[in-house]
A and B are shown apart, each in its own frame.
Chain A
Amino acid sequence: MKIAPDDGGLKAARILAVDDEAANLSLVERAFRREGFQQIATFLDARDALSDFAARPPDLVLLDLMMPGVDGYELLESFRRLTSEADYLPILVLTADSTMNARLRALSLGANDVLLKPYDLAELLMRSWVLLDTRRRFRAVTFL
């Protein structure tokens, strides 16, 4: 099931996924690999994710919100602090918290989109593709 046209560029995108549930990370990785994405970095630990983000900025972040230790909101803020004002680095929040408060808080802290767990894989991939496509167009316009 191909959900997005292969335009050559987007499949090379580097995706960073953070979740405290190994099974969920595995699911995300498999779904994206199945679509042809090659660079998928998954992190169970928020600190590791942050240092990786700082070292090699990804093209898309898939972020769980409720995690032990550093919670997703703080990580979201940290990512945003590390993001250049001139860059468009999409963050897609995946959360099992169905309260309106959780969604609003994530969006207000800089998330570009929110998906409620459990999500439909096709929707996840489609939204990710939209975000990556927007990033590509943004960078084309700003010559980055």
Chain B
Amino acid sequence: MMSADPWSRMTRAWADLGLGPKGLIVVALPLAILLSGIGALHLSGRAEAEAEARVRLTFAIQRDIHEVHALLAEAASGVRGYRLTGRRAFLEPYIKAEALLPTTLDRLRRAARDPEIRRRLARVDGLVVQKRDGLAQLAAMPGAGTATGVEAPAVTRALIANKTVLDALRAEIEAMQRREVQLLAERQARADAERRRTWTLTAVMAGVGLLGGLAAAQLLFTGIVRRVRSLEQDAERLEQGEPLSLADEAQDEIGRLARRLVQASDLLRSREAALREGEERYRRVIEGVRDYGIFALDLDGRVVTWNTGAERIKGWTADEILGKHFSTFYPAEARDETPARLLEAARRDGRVEDEGLRVRRDGGRFWANVVITALRDEDDTLTGFSKVTRDVTERRRAEEALGHARAEAERASRAKSDFLSRMSHELRTPLTAILGFNQLLGMDGETLTDDHRHAVDQIAKAGGHLLTMIDEVLDIARIEAGGHALALEALDPTPLLADVRNLIAPQAHAAGVEVRIENDTKVDVMGDRRAMVQILLNLLSNAIKYGPDGGTVTVSLVETSDRVRIEVMDEGPGVPAELVERLFVPFDRLDAERWSGTPGSGLGLALSRGLAQAQGGDVAYRPRDDRQGAVFALELPPSPTGKGNT
């Protein structure tokens, strides 16, 4: 913003000047004025001294002119006296004048400056020479001391000539003296003028110095002090968060500082705005939360903020609760102790969580989960607490219901388990004696008749069958009671099938049956090892039992989309179509003895299926595709990790 106005341009230039030069100017300005004043005074003093010297010189010249005049007059009267008396003593003034005149005249010549004086002095010089010559003639003329010494015509002429010269000389000297008087007056006037000028100059200098000081002070004030004060005000406004307008455009340090302040102010205000916006957003979020009561407490535990969730959960509006102590939320019996304890814990540990009954505005109670957090400022000084309250009544009810249900289930499970123990005991105990004594009888085999031996064998066989049945019944009951603890794991079927083949080997051998295992799969199954062995033994045992002696039982693995099937194939008659749906019904032996002559409990397949289902699988039947025979398959889910390293 350049202005054409020279004054404002100057002001601008002054403002733009750096603080260093500014300071220099402010100090130098009065100093310069002072120095020039001293110089002027010095010059003026010199002029005055010169004028006074001239006055003194004038006095000296006057004195010398007067002396010349006096010497000549005395010399003339001395010569006259000599002429009259003839006594040489009268010649003494003449001789003295002859000696002194040249030096005095010489001094006059050197001292005189005034052209008129010098002109007259030249003339006086000539006249003095004439006079001295005249006097010398007179002194030398004969007849001194006689009457003719004066009256002789030559002397008279000489005297007259001398008188003429002396008159001319006197006239010159008087003119010179007049001139010198005039010069003296002039010079004295000039000296007086010089003195007056010096005094005036001093006064003017003092004035100018004062003004210069004032100007410097003004410059200092406008250029620095006022602007620093304005800066101070800016800083004050900054402190109070008021906006600053860009007032100082000068390029010096103060101007830059002022602009920095403005920048800082802008920055501060934008940050403050961002902060306020963030705070506002937080406040809205917190206030808007409906599922949690979020509020703040002061150091003493009085409520200072309140959100929608708190109002919804507790029933008080913000107006009603602000300023009240938070123990209001506690039931009467806990009001004295719990709030204080929680605040103390939050103060100590920074955070405390609690669950318990709290009171609503309407007096109703609810189960609350509460977290109290200590709020601290940057100096780690405790400023209050935040409290987050959740109404967990529903969850608490569900937990209680769940707890009851679990206890009930556990009790039922225990009862079932006790029942199974007792059943097992009650069924097995009598069998102990029956089978034991039968075995004792058998041990004494040599004393038995064939009929008795046959009876003992029958008892042992039926007893064994009964025992198997009891085991299977108990197993089924146990599965139904959920008492079978299955440990599901990823299992490689190959070694497991080898184990099963070893276990079934005695039965297979007895029937002359070959057990073949075909496994091309690469996948593990998820199952319980013991349960799988039990199921496969049952299936293999059935296959051997129902297949022809000397035949083959084939175990093969098939992978389907979501299952692994372990199929056990026999070469027996298969299951009549109309009976297939009754295969897995407990105790339904499908008239097996009638059509196959094979003994059994009718529980094996039901048990196997139960065990398989407990592992997330199944046992299924299908007739053989190619020829006569049955296929029972144990289906199990594949291991989610594919082929393991078991």
Q: Could you tell me which A residues sit within 8 Å of B by CB distance?
A: 1, 21, 23-24, 27, 30-31, 34, 66, 94-99, 101-102, 116-122
Task: Give Cα A27 to B434, complex, Å.
Answer: 10
Note all chain A residues with C-beta closer than 8 A to B467.
118
Note all chain A residues with C-beta closer than 8 A to B420.
99
Note all chain B residues with C-beta closer than 8 A to A97.
421, 424-425
Q: Could you tell me which B residues sit within 8 Å of A by CB distance?
A: 417, 420-422, 424-429, 431-437, 439-440, 443, 463, 467, 471, 474, 483
| Residue in B417, B425, B436 whose beta carbon sits within 8 Å of that of A31 in the complex | B436
Whether the Cβ atoms of B424 and A24 lie closer than 8 Å is no
Closest to A120 in B: B439
User: Knowing A117-B429, A118-B431, A118-B435 touch, does A99 contact B443 (C-beta < 8 A)?
Assistant: no
Whether the Cβ atoms of A121 and B436 lie closer than 8 Å is yes
User: Knowing A27-B433, A66-B425 touch, does A118 contact B463 (C-beta < 8 A)?
Assistant: yes
A21, A117, A122 — most chain B CB neighbours (10 Å): A117
Min distance, Cβ B106 to any Cβ of chain A, angstroms = 160
Task: List the 9 closest pairs (A to B, CB-CB), nearest first.
Answer: A96-B428, A23-B433, A118-B432, A117-B432, A27-B436, A96-B425, A118-B431, A118-B435, A98-B424
User: Knowing A96-B425, A101-B421 touch, does A24 contact B433 (C-beta < 8 A)?
Assistant: yes
User: Knowing A31-B440, A118-B431 touch, does A101 contact B417 (C-beta < 8 A)?
Assistant: yes
Closest to A25 in B: B433
User: Knowing A1-B443, A24-B429, A66-B425 touch, does A98 contact B436 (C-beta < 8 A)?
Assistant: no
Task: Give Cα A30 to B433, complex, Å.
Answer: 12
Task: Give Cα A98 to B483, complex, Å.
Answer: 13
Whether the Cβ atoms of B429 and A121 lie closer than 8 Å is no
Whether the Cβ atoms of A96 and B440 lie closer than 8 Å is no
Min distance, Cβ A133 to any Cβ of chain B, angstroms = 22
Closest to A116 in B: B428
Task: Give Cα A118 to B471, complex, Å.
Answer: 12
Binding site secondary structure of chain B: helix
A-B contact list, 10 entries, CB within 8 Å: A21-B429, A24-B432, A94-B432, A98-B474, A99-B417, A117-B428, A117-B432, A118-B434, A118-B436, A121-B440
Note all chain A residues with C-beta closer than 8 A to B431.
117-118
Whether the Cβ atoms of A27 and B443 lie closer than 8 Å is no
A31, A98, A101, A119 — most chain B CB neighbours (10 Å): A98
Task: Give Cα A24 to B420, complex, Å.
Answer: 21
| Residue in A21, A30, A95, A98 whose beta carbon sits within 8 Å of that of B440 in the complex | A30
Whether the Cβ atoms of B440 and A27 lie closer than 8 Å is yes
Task: Give Cα A101 to B417, complex, Å.
Answer: 9
| Residue in A66, A98, A117 whose beta carbon sits within 8 Å of that of B471 in the complex | A98
Task: Give Cα A98 to B474, complex, Å.
Answer: 9
Closest to B428 in A: A96
Min distance, Cβ A80 to any Cβ of chain B, angstroms = 22
Whether the Cβ atoms of A99 and B424 lie closer than 8 Å is yes
Note all chain A residues with C-beta closer than 8 A to B439.
120-122
Whether the Cβ atoms of A119 and B432 lie closer than 8 Å is yes
Task: Give Cα A116 to B421, complex, Å.
Answer: 12
Task: Give Cα A90 to B437, complex, Å.
Answer: 25
Task: Give Cα A23 to B436, complex, Å.
Answer: 10
Closest to A100 in B: B485
Task: Give Cα A121 to B443, complex, Å.
Answer: 10
Note all chain B residues with C-beta closer than 8 A to A66.
421-422, 425
B428, B471, B474, B483 — most chain A CB neighbours (10 Å): B428
Task: Give Cα A98 to B433, complex, Å.
Answer: 17
Whether the Cβ atoms of B437 and A27 lie closer than 8 Å is yes
Note all chain A residues with C-beta closer than 8 A to B471.
98
Closest to A1 in B: B443
Task: Give Cα A27 to B420, complex, Å.
Answer: 25
Note all chain B residues with C-beta closer than 8 A to A121.
436, 439-440, 443
Note all chain B residues with C-beta closer than 8 A to A95.
425
Closest to B424 in A: A98
Whether the Cβ atoms of A27 and B425 lie closer than 8 Å is no
Task: Give Cα A119 to B437, complex, Å.
Answer: 11
Whether the Cβ atoms of B425 and A24 lie closer than 8 Å is no
Min distance, Cβ B436 to any Cβ of chain A, angstroms = 4
Task: Give Cα A119 to B433, complex, Å.
Answer: 10
- Given A24-B432, A96-B427, A96-B429, 19 other A-B residues pairs in contact with their CB atoms under 8 A: A1-B443, A21-B432, A24-B429, A24-B433, A27-B433, A27-B437, A30-B440, A31-B436, A66-B425, A96-B424, A97-B425, A98-B424, A99-B424, A102-B421, A118-B428, A118-B435, A119-B436, A121-B436, A121-B443
Min distance, Cβ B522 to any Cβ of chain A, angstroms = 35
Closest to B445 in A: A1
Note all chain B residues with C-beta closer than 8 A to A1.
443
Task: Give Cα A91 to B483, complex, Å.
Answer: 28
Min distance, Cβ B351 to any Cβ of chain A, angstroms = 44
| Residue in B422, B427, B432 whose beta carbon sits within 8 Å of that of A27 in the complex | B432
Task: Give Cα A52 to B175, complex, Å.
Answer: 186
Min distance, Cβ B609 to any Cβ of chain A, angstroms = 21
Note all chain A residues with C-beta closer than 8 A to B432.
21, 24, 27, 94, 96, 117-119
Task: Give Cα A34 to B444, complex, Å.
Answer: 10
Whether the Cβ atoms of A34 and B440 lie closer than 8 Å is yes
Note all chain A residues with C-beta closer than 8 A to B417.
99, 101
Note all chain B residues with C-beta closer than 8 A to A117.
428-429, 431-432
A23, A30, A66, A118 — most chain B CB neighbours (10 Å): A118
A21, A97, A116 — most chain B CB neighbours (10 Å): A97
Min distance, Cβ A79 to any Cβ of chain B, angstroms = 21
Note all chain A residues with C-beta closer than 8 A to B422.
66
